[in-house]
Every structure is written in C-alpha cells, then in structure tokens.
Amino acid sequence: MTPRIDEEVPVLVAGAGPAGLVAAATLAKHGVETLVVDTRPAPSRIPRANAINMSAMELFRSWGLESEIREGDVGVVPQARLSRTLSDAAEGHSVEVGFPSHEQSDVLGPAPAAAVAQDHLEPILERHVASSGVARVERGTSVVDVEMGVNDVVVTLADARLGRQRRVRAKYLVGADGIRSSVRSALGIRSWSSGSLGERLAVLMRGPLWEVAGRDHRYTIYLTQQEREDFFLPVGKPDRWVYGASWDFDAEPLETISHDRARALIRAAAGRQDLEIELERVQRVTYEVALAQRFREGRAFLVGDAAHRVTPRGGTGMNSAIRDGYDLAWKLAWVLKRWTGEQLLDSYEAERRPVAEHNVRRSSDPTGTLRTAAEEVRTDLGGRIRHIWIAEGRSSLDLLGHGLTLLIGPNGEHWKVSAGRLAGGPPLDVEALEPMASRALGVSDRGALLVRPDGVPVALWSGQRDPGESLAREIAFMSGEAHGNARLHERHGTLPSALRARSRT
C-alpha cells in the first residue's frame, strides 16, 4: 500500500533563516506557492551575523524593505579600528574589512551595506513572506526523511507541537537548514570540514561602549595589546555588543566562566573598571569551515550554511546565504512557470560554488577580515550591470524585472519591434535608455543589452538591422543550456572602475 500524501506544494523550503526566507519571498513574487518549515519555535534572538552587504541590500531595496531593515543599522563606518583598548580607539588606526566606503558605495550602487544584525533582519523577512499570500512559514516542524522521485520529492515532516508526522510532496526541495542540515544528511551528501580553526569566547552584552570608544564608530574594534586577541562588535541599537576573545576551553571551560569573570574581562578590554554591563549570553564559538560535496541531489538543493560553512571573518556567511536563496529561487520559479527548461537549474551550483569556495578560503585565513574593498567587491556584486542614477532616486538596477530586460540605445526602436515578435520563454521587458545612461552602460546608439533579473548581463550588441534571430538565440541559450551563463558573462565587463571614480548620471 502506497503511503498517504498529506499535502502537495510546488516548493518546500527547510529552514527559516535568511537563505530560506529569501528563497520563499522570491518564489512568492513569481506567484509560486511555497511552504517553509523550521525546527525553531520562533526566530533566534542571537545577533549572529551583523553586516548586510551591498548586493543583499540592493535585493531588499527592490522589495521595498530597505527602510525597515535600516532601522536596525547601528550607523558605523565600514572599517575596523585597531587600538590598545576600547578607550584608546581614538588613538588607534583604521583598516579596511572588504566593504566599500560610503563614498565608494555612492558610486557602486543605490543601497550601501548596513550594520544590521541577523536577529533584526529575520523577523522582517518572515513577515514579508507571510504577507505574500502564497508562502507560509511553519515553526516547530522538522525534516525526518526525504524520498527522491523522478518528478517530485516526498518529505516526511515531524510537528513538535502536535506530536505527529505528515508527508508532503513537492516538485522541489530547498535545504536551508543550517550547518547540521537534516536535508543534507537525508540526501547522503557529504561535507568536507576543516575541523576547529580556533575557539572564541563570545559575550552578548549591553553597555555604554560608544561613550568609551568616543566618536570612532566602526564595524569592529580590535584590541592589539590584549593577550586574548580581544575585539568588540556592535550588534544593535543603542548599546548592544558582542565581546569576543580567543580562548583555551581546556584550561578554563565555559561552565566555569561566571558573569563576574566575564564582566572583568570586558572592563579590562574596555580600559574602564567602572563600566556598567548587562550580560545576555556567554557562549563558546568554534571557528570552522565546511563545503558540501555537491549542492544538488535530483530535485533537492542546498543553500546557505547547509551548503557551505564559514567563520565570522569577513562577514560573508549570511550575505552569501541570501544570494544563494535568491539565485536558486528565481531559477526554480522560471522552471515551474515553464519559461525555461530544467537545464537552467544546473547553473545554480556552477555560479554559486565559486563564491562559496572564495568565502571558505577567506574565512579560513586568520587575516581574512582585513581585505580591501577592491579585493572583495566583485564577489559581492556578482558581475551585475553598472549602477547609474537615471532619475532622482531611480537606479539603472530599478529597470530590471522578474524576467529578462532588454536595455536599448536611444535609436534602438528596431529591438523593441523584434522583442514584440518573440513567443514563449521568459517575459521580456524593453527599456529605452537616455543618451547619457546608454553611454554609461556601454550600450551603443542602436545597440542593446540583455540582462537577467539578478542584473547579470546575458549579451551585448552594438546594433543589427534585424536583431530578432540574435535575440531569440541568446534567450534560448541563456535559459536552456547548462552552464552557458559563465561564457555569456564574458561578453560584458563585470564592473566599471567605480572604486576610482565618483560620478552620477
């Protein structure tokens, strides 16, 4: 007797962290019904990550969430400060940590990076998913088993509240359930791990540390003459912080560290013995990196920490998880809406794995946080088209829709005519550029630029008399050939030299 199926849904997402919620929100914007399950009864109240990079903020801006997310921004300069103690911060010196300065951000994109903790972001994303009407989040629900079929995947779920199991059939499964992923285990996907790269004591606390540091508001303040390699990390308004230090837990186990001991450590690192401190949590953090053997098994995919684990160095973990969720979800939506063939899904790992490998290497490096913006901005922005202001408050990135977008030059009306004759495939929006914008984006007077919804260019033409055939061929190639995107990217420069020039069009 065939076991009963209790529910059917196009996409099941395991995990309601940033990767899973972004995937669900993206699918919902395409009208794809999605069920998100998470073992936790409520979102975590631990800050975890504390920085959202430019590409993630650009995505949230396009969803209308930027202002709400920035309400949690602690308002710091995107650099680190090196000083003897926290009270000596004004006498220390600043170093880059891979994020563009505010001035560079103005040139590179419409939405600068933000110092926002994960526990502020997650509830916003969850409310956004719930408001879609086509996606829902179920908490206290865990993945027990995964059965892969040719045309579907059946997932057995356990509901902790009701104390029962149910079987859900989905077209696709997204494993966004963290470093100890049940989905990854059920799929039999191995994960390479570095083992421990060091232990840290982390204390979540509240206290008037900005008064101690003075006006030097930075992402992180590293203390250079402390024996434990101490640091202070601002994680919330007005005075929520994490104090961290390298630690030998064999010599001094976590359970022996009293709150008085933790306060003494913090006061010594701050250089203020009279500092009033309210402790929220004292914990042990193991620095470790890991990379799944593969990101896909049949109709199941891994995103975020389920696919790749990094250390806090460089602040790449949550940001790469967000982009994983978005990249996979828009491609799943295109396939489910029959805008393209399933071959497009092969590009998910082809495009996201190099980013994961880069971040694993960076976060394994003891100096991995201390990188210049020029070194890291390409990994962040992912080869998307250039940002320029085309009108007050409107970026070139705002021209992009959920399908493909064809940006045409000032005398490129023939492209619009050809686009109107195309049938099938993903939706194709045509946007005519003003002369200055056209030049800034590298589009000739009679030329055109074809762009994916994530801003990655597909093809650039200087101008053709009858472009219909070329346009149809590139759309078919982009959406139907496995791994075709990497070659297409080479036809258009990934980024302008915006870090060296400040201008607006």
- Which helix (H) or strand (E) is 205 found in, with range? strand 199-206
What's the pLDDT tens digit per position in 205-246? 999 999 999 876 888 999 987 678 899 999 999 999 999 999
- Beta carbons of 454 and 504 less than 8 angstroms apart: no
pLDDT value of position 382: 87
Q: Taking all residues of the chain, what is their mean pLDDT, rounded to a whole number?
A: 92
Report how far apart the first and last C-alpha atoms of the chain are (Å, whole number): 67
Q: Would you tell me how many other CB atoms lie within 10 Å of the CB of residue 447?
A: 23
> For residue 340, what are the contacts with CB-CB under 8 A and spacing of at least 6?
334, 425, 426, 479, 480
Q: How far apart (Å, rounded) are the C-alpha atoms in residues 375 and 383?
A: 14
What's the pLDDT tens digit per position in 261-272? 999 999 999 999
Which of 380, 456, 398, 497 has its CA nearest to residue 53?
380
**Per-residue buried b or exposed e for 186-206, using 16+ beta carbons within 10 Å of the residue's own CB:** bbebebeeeeeeebbbbbbbe
Residue 401 or residue 478, greater confidence: 401
Residue 453's alpha-carbon distances to 26, 30, 58, 60, in angstroms, are 11, 12, 12, 14
Q: How far apart (Å, rounded) are the C-alpha atoms in residues 242 and 279?
A: 10
Phi, psi angles (nearest 5°) of residue 404: -95, 155
Q: What are 9's two structure tokens?
A: 């849904």
Q: How far apart (Å, rounded) are the C-alpha atoms in residues 233 and 116?
A: 12
- Is the pLDDT at 496 greater than 70? The verdict is no
What's the pLDDT tens digit per position in 231-240? 999 999 999 9
Q: How far apart (Å, rounded) are the C-alpha atoms in residues 279 and 203?
A: 7
Q: Tell me 12's DSSP state.
A: E
pLDDT value of position 499: 32
**106 in helix, strand or coil?**
helix
> For residue 286, what are the contacts with CB-CB under 8 A and spacing of at least 6?
196, 198, 199, 200
Q: How far apart (Å, rounded) are the C-alpha atoms in residues 105 and 290?
A: 31
pLDDT value of position 229: 85
Sign of CA dihedral 71, 75, 79, 84: negative
- Is the pLDDT at 35 greater than 90? The verdict is yes
Phi, psi angles (nearest 5°) of residue 218: -125, 165
Q: How far apart (Å, rounded) are the C-alpha atoms in residues 357 and 126?
A: 29
Residue 355 or residue 487, greater confidence: 355
Please tell me the total number of residues recorded for the chain in this structure.
505
Residue 124's alpha-carbon distances to 16, 66, 328, in angstroms, are 12, 10, 21
Q: What is the mean pLDDT of residues 361-373?
A: 96
What's the pLDDT tens digit per position in 140-197? 999 999 999 999 999 999 998 888 999 999 999 999 999 999 999 999 999 999 999 9
Q: How far apart (Å, rounded) are the C-alpha atoms in residues 352 and 431?
A: 28
Q: Give 18-55 as a DSSP string.
A: HHHHHHHHHHHHTT--EEEEESSSS---S-----B-HH
Show the DSSP H helices in 316-460 as ranges: 317-336, 346-364, 373-381, 413-421, 435-440
Q: How far apart (Å, rounded) are the C-alpha atoms in residues 35 and 37?
A: 7
Judged by average pLDDT, the poorest of 47-61, 289-303, 478-492 is 478-492
Q: How far apart (Å, rounded) are the C-alpha atoms in residues 27 and 128?
A: 12
- Is the pLDDT at 6 greater than 60? The verdict is yes
Residue 376's alpha-carbon distances to 137, 359, 362, 380, 425, in angstroms, are 34, 10, 10, 6, 34
Domains of the chain by range and CATH? 7-72+115-194+290-381 (3.50.50.60), 74-113+198-286 (3.30.9.10), 389-500 (3.40.30.120)
Per-residue pLDDT band for 281 (boundaries 50, 70, 90) equals very high
Sign of CA dihedral 33, 38, 40, 45: negative
- Which helix (H) or strand (E) is 479 found in, with range? helix 468-480
Q: How far apart (Å, rounded) are the C-alpha atoms in residues 200 and 183?
A: 28
pLDDT value of position 326: 98
- Quote the pTM value: 0.93
Q: What is the mean pLDDT of residues 24-41?
A: 98
